[in-house]
A and B are shown apart, each in its own frame.
Chain A
Amino acid sequence: MTAEALRQGGRVAPLDVEKVRKDFPILEQDVRGKPLIYLDSAATSQKPRAVIDAIARYYLEDNANVHRGVHLLSERATQAYEAAREKVRRFINAAHAHEIVFVRGTTEAINLISQTWGRTRVRPGDEILITVMEHHSNIVPWQLLCEEKGAILRVAPMDDEGQLLLDELDRLIGPRTKLVALSHLSNALGTINPVRRIVEMAHRQKVPVLLDGAQAVPHLAVDVQALGCDFYAFSGHKLFGPTGIGVLYGRSELLEEMPPWQGGGDMISSVTFEKTTYNKLPYKFEAGTPDIAGAIGLGAAIDYVNALGLRAIAAHEHDLLSYATDALRKVPGLRLIGAAKEKASVLSFLLGEVHPHDIGTILDREGIAIRTGHHCAQPLMRRLGVAATARASLAFYNRREDVDALVAGLKKVREVFA
C-alpha cells in the first residue's frame, strides 16, 4: 500500500513473515537445487494451506450443485457458495451481495461489461476512454466493441514516471464518452492510480467508470462505495485464491438495466419456447453451474487476508518495496521502469543491454522466479520505448532476503554477459 494509506491509520503490529511463510507449503521447496525465491506474485500469487484445505474439504464433504437440490449436500454447497459472495461483498464494501457476480476472472468480468452494457449503450461515434498503462484485457474487449459499433477508443497519457496526466485525462472525457475503464494498480509499473479523483472527474460528466482491480486487491483496502466506481473487476488467483474464479462488482442500477450475457441454467426464472424470464441479480449473469469450489476457495483467501490485516500487509510491503528499490538502484547498469510517487509491489527494470529473457533464464537457475516480457501491456512498452522488461513483484510472504537473493542473481547475470 501507499505511504498515504499508511498515514491514515495508526500503528499496526508488524507481520511475522516467517510464520506467514509456513502457511504456504509451496514456498518450502528447492528449485534447481536452490531455495525457491518467488517474485512473480503479480502474475499469480501462491495459495495458503487454508485455501487449499477449503477447496479439498468442499470436494470431500459438501460437493453438490447449487441453487437447485432439495438434499442436504446441495443445501450445504449453496450456503458455502453464497457465504463466499457475502465475504467478497464485505471485502470490497459493496452495498449488496447481489452486486457481486462470480466470473472466471478479471478478463471475463471486463468482457461481460463490454458485451452486455457496452453493446446496448455504445453507438457509432461514441468513445471509450482507457489509459496507456492498461493490460491487454482492458484494451482488447473495448477494441472489439468499438469495431462492432463504430465507436472510438481514446487513450489517456502518462508521464515518464508512469503517472497518469490527470488534466489530459479530464480533457478526454467529453459528451461522447460512454465509459472510462482503467487499472487501479498497474501490473507493469506498480503505479497506484488516483482512481477516486478520476471517478469524480468522470461522474461530473455523468460517465460511469470501470476499475480493473486485478493487481490492487492483494495490496490495497478497496471500498467500492468510497471510490464511487460503477464497476470493479478482480481475479481470485492474484488474491491468494484459486484460478478460475473472479469477481465483477456492479452497482445495482447498472446491473439491473443490463441484458444477460450467457444463457443457460441458473440465469432464468421461467422458460417457455416463446419467452424466458431472467433470474434476479446476480444470477442473471451466472449461467450454468458456477465454479463453486473456486468461490469457496476465494472466500477462504479473503478470510486469510483479513486475518493478517490489509494494514499490516501494506506496512510490510511498503517497507519491502523501499528496501528493494534502494537495493536495485545500487546494481550497476540497472534502470528501474516506473517511479510513481504512489506505487506498490512491482519492480520493473532493465539491466544494461541484457535482454529481460536472458535475465529471467539466468535468475531461474538461481531458483528465482520473475516475469520477463511485455507483461500483456504492449502499448505501454511502446510508450516506454522498450521491447520488454524484467519484473519482480512482491507479496506479503516475501522477505528482505528474497531481495538480497535477487541482487546476487543479477550479479550472476552481469558475469555471464561480462
Chain B
Amino acid sequence: MKSELRDLYQEVVIDHSKKPRNFRKPEGANRSAEGINPLCGDQITLYLKLADDVIEDIGFQGAGCAISKASASLMTSALKNKTKAEAEALFERVHSMISEGPRSKVDPQELGKLAVLSGVWEFPARVKCATLAWHTLRSALDGADAPASTE
C-alpha cells in the first residue's frame, strides 16, 4: 500500500473504526451534543457524565466513515477521568496536529495513541472527518444547544 494511505489508515485506525470503544450512551450521562458534517452526512452524538468538572464517563453513537469513527473512539478512550480543562487543552493540540500537520507545534508522539491521527493532514478532504468528534466534544462541554458542525 502507498505510504500516505497507510499513514491515514493505520492499523489502530482500522481497529477502532471496526470496533469503536465507548460506542454507547453511558449511564448517568448529564451532557450531550450532536455533531454533523453537512458535506457528507456523518453524524455523531457524544455523551458525557461530568461531575465536578471531571469526565467520569464518556461515550458516543452515530454513523460515519472510518476516520470519524476511529477519531471518536480514540477521543473517548483518551478523555476518561480527565478534567474539563484538560479535555479542552487536548482538543487544541489534536486540532492543531490534524489540521496543520508538520507546521503544527504539537509533537504527535506526546499524544500517545492519538498520534495515529497525525496522517490525516495529508488528506485535506478528510480533516473534517477527523475533527468532527472533537468539535462535538467542545459543544458538549460548553453545553451548547445547536448541533456542532464542521462547517
Contacts and interface: CB of A to CB of B under 8 A. Distances in A.
Nearest to A32: B2
Contacts of B1: 412, 415-416
Interface string B30-60: 0000000001111100000000000000000
A418 to B, nearest CB: 9
B129 interface: yes
A365 B7 CA distance: 13
Interface residues of A, number: 20
B80 to A, nearest CB: 26
A70 to B, nearest CB: 49
Contacts of B64: 355, 387
A415 B6 CA distance: 11
Interface in A321-369: 353-358, 361-362, 365
Given A358-B65, A415-B1, A373 B9 contact: no
B129 A416 contact: no
A374 interface: yes
A378 interface: yes
Contact of B129 (A357, A362, A381, A387): A357
Given A355-B65, A361-B123, A373 B5 contact: no
B4 interface: yes
B127 to A, nearest CB: 12
A416 B125 CA distance: 19
Contacts of A374: 40-41
A273 interface: no
A358 B14 CA distance: 11
Interface in A260-287: none
B115 interface: no
A115 interface: no
A381 B40 CA distance: 11
Contacts of B42: 357, 387
Given A361-B123, A365-B4, A416-B9, A387 B63 contact: yes
B126 interface: yes
B66 interface: yes
A365 B39 contact: no
A138 interface: no
Contacts, number: 52
Contacts of B9: 358, 362, 416-417
B41 A362 contact: no
B72 interface: no
Contacts of A416: 1, 5, 9, 14
A228 to B, nearest CB: 36
Contacts of B94: none
A388 B40 CA distance: 7
B67 interface: yes
Contacts of B5: 361-362, 365, 416
Interface of B: 1-2, 4-5, 8-9, 14, 18, 39-43, 63-67, 123, 125-126, 129
23 contacts: A353-B18, A355-B65, A356-B65, A357-B40, A357-B67, A357-B126, A358-B65, A361-B8, A361-B123, A362-B5, A365-B4, A372-B40, A373-B41, A387-B63, A387-B64, A388-B40, A412-B1, A415-B1, A416-B5, A416-B9, A417-B9, A417-B18, A417-B66
Interface of A: 353-358, 361-362, 365, 372-374, 378, 381, 387-388, 412, 415-417
- Closest 9 pairs (CB-CB, A-B): A355-B65, A357-B65, A373-B40, A374-B41, A358-B66, A387-B63, A416-B9, A358-B65, A387-B41
Given A358-B65, A378-B41, 17 more contacts: A354-B66, A355-B65, A357-B129, A358-B67, A361-B5, A361-B8, A361-B123, A361-B126, A365-B5, A373-B39, A373-B40, A373-B41, A374-B40, A387-B41, A415-B1, A416-B1, A416-B9
